[in-house]
Amino acid sequence: GEDVEQSLFLSVREGDSSVINCTYTDSSSTYLYWYKQEPGAGLQLLTYIFSNMDMKQDQRLTVLLNKKDKHLSLRIADTQTGDSAIYFCAESITGKLIFGQGTTLQVKP
Amino acid sequence: DVKVTQSSRYLVKRTGEKVFLECVQDMDHENMFWYRQDPGLGLRLIYFSYDVKMKEKGDIPEGYSVSREKKERFSLILESASTNQTSMYLCASSFVREGGEQYFGPGTRLTVT
């Protein structure tokens, strides 16, 4: 079946790197996504990776995909207080998105 | 900029009432989605639509129905609201069915008392 798992909470200090992890079960996923949700707002796409890629870098964001272990991670370099939010990973299966539970990132000054 | 708007940010309804949640997108997207978001559960797909007058059940359709009479508008209907439908409801739309970004509205926080 389709299942996406994330840890619920991560706390880091401003300036440190944050790594948010995600595991998924369906190997037929074509795309994997990271969305960000700020308080009181809807979700906003941060980045995505096609399933035949291992890594994608976009400014402070690095996505790593280990397809063998079905493991996806999002690294945020030089984390800022404005990065405090809930981060969702999602896999795309036949056009539908299956979301994880969301990881709340707390950035301490 | 793509804009997805939802009719209300906050809604309070009584058990048994019929509830309409409206979603409008302004980018001529074919695909529209309704999710509910609950703490610790993430987003769960209720219904989606790939075209006007077309609808498909998502993972948790029980207690809900939808209507898509116009391309830009996708409505979620709770025929008889119950307290376990208290949740945040998020609407999204996308241009392509596979591999594209889903654009989300700000959400409607529904409380059923």
Q: Average pLDDT in the A22-26 region?
A: 91
Is the pLDDT reported for residue A60 higher than 90? yes
Rounded to the nearest angstrom, the minimum Cα separation between A85 and chain B is 14
Mutation to test the A interface, candidates B4, B98, B108, most A Cβ within 10 Å:
B98
Q: What is the pLDDT of residue A2?
A: 67
Q: What is the pLDDT of residue A1?
A: 57
Contact assessment for residue B37 and residue B13, using Cβ atoms and an 8 Å cutoff: no
Cα–Cα distances in Å, from B76 out to A24, B67, B96? 29, 7, 22
Interchain pair A88, B43: CB under 8 A: yes
Per-residue pLDDT tens digits for A73-105: 999 999 999 999 999 999 988 878 999 999 999
Of A15-19, A22-26, A79-83, B97-101, which range is least confident?
Answer: B97-101
Q: What share of chain B is helix, strand, coil (3-state, %, to 5)?
A: 5, 50, 45
- Partners of residue B33 in chain A, C-beta under 8 Å: 97
Per-residue pLDDT tens digits for B79-101: 999 999 999 999 999 987 777 78
Contact assessment for residue A12 and residue A107, using Cβ atoms and an 8 Å cutoff: yes
Per-residue pLDDT tens digits for B38-94: 988 999 999 999 999 899 999 999 999 999 999 999 999 999 999 999 999 999 999
Is the pLDDT reported for residue B1 higher than 90? no
- Partners of residue A100 in chain B, C-beta under 8 Å: 42
